[in-house]
């Protein structure tokens, strides 16, 4: 087929015109967005930390966007079913996802995924974070962290360290803890942190790490012993509990929550969503709800779309290294 020069020019001009119209439409799209309800996927069961966080912010987020916000749980396969749902969603800002550390752990744990974690998603913004506590059964002979380490390294049967399942954040955190302290414990896997904590309270296992909001009532009721936290500073609600950093161990870990969108979501839409999220997190009621749950919002300088994306990429690199060094594989 012979194509005339005039035809080539016409096609090139049409392409340029189309590109120009797309570029011109972007600011208008940002001004119009959103015009209908937004769905937030939670890739885990109702009642979990991500679901609780979604419910805590949904109403205020809806007010900021002036549109309904629907929270939908899509559990299964370690969060990968919900992640896959988001990866396949239209990149228009109307389907989002709240996820936690598992988002960064998934690409290292699973060999074959129907999505690329680093290419198929974009971070809208970070939501909150909290430290974990190193806790033990109430009948442990140790009463402080130094005594705990001595007991775990002492003669007798190996310490039984519980975690919420292979490849979970709790499992990797426990692995880092064991390596840092040069321990040789028995690692006991559970189906979630709830059963693990129940067995700590019941005295069936010795030590675990649990998030601040779940640990708080048990600490206050003296149903477990607490030895240290993984935060960068002491929790103001428990000022007598030292951090692992204070105790000489380079372990500072957060349980975090972030808001994600499909890759390709227009930057103006991301900025609109980020602004609404920041407005939500600055609201007095949101702050009060977070404080009651012993979680805190991220510092302002880590809240932008860019800074949030950089943080998640750093987390992917961190957990990928832990997984590779310890040869951990998911199911």
What is the pLDDT, as a whole number, of residue 115? 97
What sign results for the dihedral spanned by CA atoms 132, 138, 140, 144?
positive
CB contact at 8 A, 135 and 170? no
Average confidence (pLDDT) per 10 residues, the chain, 331 residues: 34 42 45 94 87 94 98 90 97 97 92 94 96 96 96 93 89 91 94 90 96 88 96 91 94 92 98 98 94 88 96 94 83 55
Which CATH number is 125's domain given? 3.40.190.150
Q: Which of 193, 213, 229 is the last residue of a domain?
A: 229
**Residue 240 placed within a domain:** no
Domain extent, residue 53, equals: 37-129+255-326
* Nearest C-alpha neighbor of 257 from the set 285, 277, 230: 277
What is the pLDDT, as a whole number, of residue 16? 43
156 plus 217 within the same structural domain? yes
Residues whose CB falls within 8 Å of the CB of residue 52, separated by 6 or more in sequence, listed in order: 293
What is the pLDDT, as a whole number, of residue 111? 82
99 plus 142 within the same structural domain? no
* Nearest C-alpha neighbor of 61 from the set 279, 296, 230, 255: 279
100 plus 146 within the same structural domain? no
Beta bridge partners of 96: 40
What is the pLDDT, as a whole number, of residue 30? 56
What sign results for the dihedral spanned by CA atoms 22, 23, 25, 27?
positive
**Residue 238 placed within a domain:** no
186 plus 138 within the same structural domain? yes
**Residue 65 placed within a domain:** yes
Beta bridge partners of 188: 162
**Residue 20 placed within a domain:** no
76 plus 144 within the same structural domain? no
* Helix/strand/coil for 199: helix
């Amino acid at each position: 087929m012979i194509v005339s020069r005039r035809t080539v020019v016409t096609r090139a001009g049409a392409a340029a015109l189309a590109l120009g119209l797309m570029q011109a439409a972007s600011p208008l799209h940002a001004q119009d967005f959103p015009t209908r309800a937004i769905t937030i996927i939670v890739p885990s069961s109702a009642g979990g930390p991500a679901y609780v966080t979604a419910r805590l912010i949904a109403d205020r987020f809806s007010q900021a966007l002036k549109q309904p916000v629907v929270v939908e749980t899509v559990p299964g396969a370690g969060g990968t079913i919900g992640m896959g749902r988001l990866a396949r969603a239209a990149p228009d800002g109307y389907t989002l996802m709240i996820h936690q550390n598992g988002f960064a752990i998934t690409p290292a744990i699973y060999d074959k995924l129907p999505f690329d974690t680093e290419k198929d998603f974009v971070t809208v913004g970070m939501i909150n974070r909290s430290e974990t506590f190193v806790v033990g059964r109430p009948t442990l002979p140790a009463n402080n962290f130094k005594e705990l380490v001595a007991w775990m390294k002492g003669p007798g049967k190996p310490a039984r360290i519980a975690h919420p399942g292979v490849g979970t954040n709790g499992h990797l955190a426990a692995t880092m803890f064991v390596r840092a302290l040069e321990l040789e414990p028995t690692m006991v896997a559970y189906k979630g942190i709830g059963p693990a904590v129940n067995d700590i309270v019941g005295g069936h296992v010795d030590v675990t790490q649990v998030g601040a909001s779940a640990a708080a009532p048990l600490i206050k009721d003296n149903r477990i012993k607490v030895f240290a936290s993984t935060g960068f500073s002491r929790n103001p609600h428990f000022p007598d509990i030292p951090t692992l950093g204070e105790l000489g161990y380079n372990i500072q870990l957060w349980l975090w929550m972030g808001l994600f969108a499909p890759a390709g979501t227009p930057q103006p839409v991301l900025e609109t969503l980020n602004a609404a999220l920041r407005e939500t997190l600055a609201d007095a009621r949101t702050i009060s709800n977070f404080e009651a749950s012993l979680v805190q919002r991220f510092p302002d300088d880590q809240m932008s779309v860019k800074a949030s994306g950089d943080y998640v990429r750093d987390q992917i690199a961190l957990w990928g290294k832990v997984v590779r060094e310890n040869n951990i594989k998911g199911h």
